[in-house]
Amino acid sequence: MDTRKHTNNLQKSSVLFLQLGLVLTLLTTYLALELKTEQRIAIIIETSIDSDDTYEFFPAKEIQIERKVKERKFKPVTKKIFTGEIKKNNKPDEVETQLPFDNEPTVNPTPNILKGLVEIPKEDPLVADYFSVQEVPIFPGCEKVKESKRRACFEKKLHKFVQKKFNGELSIQLGLPSGVQKIYVQFLITKTGDIEVIGGRAPHKKLMTEGKRVVKKLPRMIPGKQNGKEVGVKYMLPISFNVE
């Protein structure tokens, strides 16, 4: 009897110890896991839009952008085209056709400069001076211009024609000294409107020839009038240019 009771007690004790062992094992495992696992909690902090914690950032150094522009150097270009300058005066020798860069004031020609010009007697009733004639000759293209403006139109057309036709290269070809060179060509617009060269003066024979050649190419004009009658009108054309 005692032996059976002792055996039953041992079996119960074994089951009890087994259960206790399992409980202890689970508890130990749980504690171990709790110690090794970190709990991360996200905390949300509400911020106000009107918060004073506002920061402004500025660059530590101002950024400068520089652009370097190379200075362009242009070589002066000498044009060979005549530019006319019309000066109204009571004397014909103060109206000049000038070439580029001639900025010097017009100088009245002296008797030595005008030596060689053929003068037409003033008492000739059929010939009048351009600046004293009542109605100046009409250059082609000025027919519809008012009578009060025909003189200016005549001079403008005449100077434009000379500038276009005159050979500006000639002064370089001749090797003339630097400075202002002047040519004087005197011509007559006959009572029929034709052009006749009277005389002229120039520092070189070829320049004189060129000046006369250009004048002879002038178109036929409507003759000038004095007291309602057609008369010949003489005109002295100075041409000046600068040799550099």
166 occurs within a structural domain: yes
For residue range 185-225, what is the model confidence (pLDDT) as tens digits? 999 999 999 999 999 999 889 999 999 999 999 999 999 99
Identify whether 73 is part of a domain. no
The reply to whether 135 falls in a domain is yes
pLDDT in tens, 159-180: 999 989 988 788 778 887 878 8
- C-alpha span between 75 and 71 (Å, rounded): 13
Residue 63 lies in a domain: no
Cβ(189)–Cβ(232) under 8 Å? Answer: yes
According to the model, what pLDDT value does residue 218 have? 96
- Provide the domain count of the chain: 1
Q: Is residue 9 part of a domain?
A: no
Residue 185 lies in a domain: yes
User: What range defines the domain where residue 151 resides?
Assistant: 92-243
Question: So what's the pLDDT on residue 61?
Answer: 36
Quote the pLDDT of residue 26.
Answer: 85
- Residue 71, pLDDT > 60, answer no
The per-residue pLDDT for 16 is 78
Q: What is the pTM of this model?
A: 0.50
Residue 238 CB-density burial (10 A; 0-12 exposed, 13-18 middle, 19+ buried):
buried
Residue 143 has pLDDT above 90, yes or no: yes
Q: Is residue 19 part of a domain?
A: no
Residue 174 included in any domain: yes
Between 55 and 218, where is the model more confident? Answer: 218
More confident: 159 or 241: 159
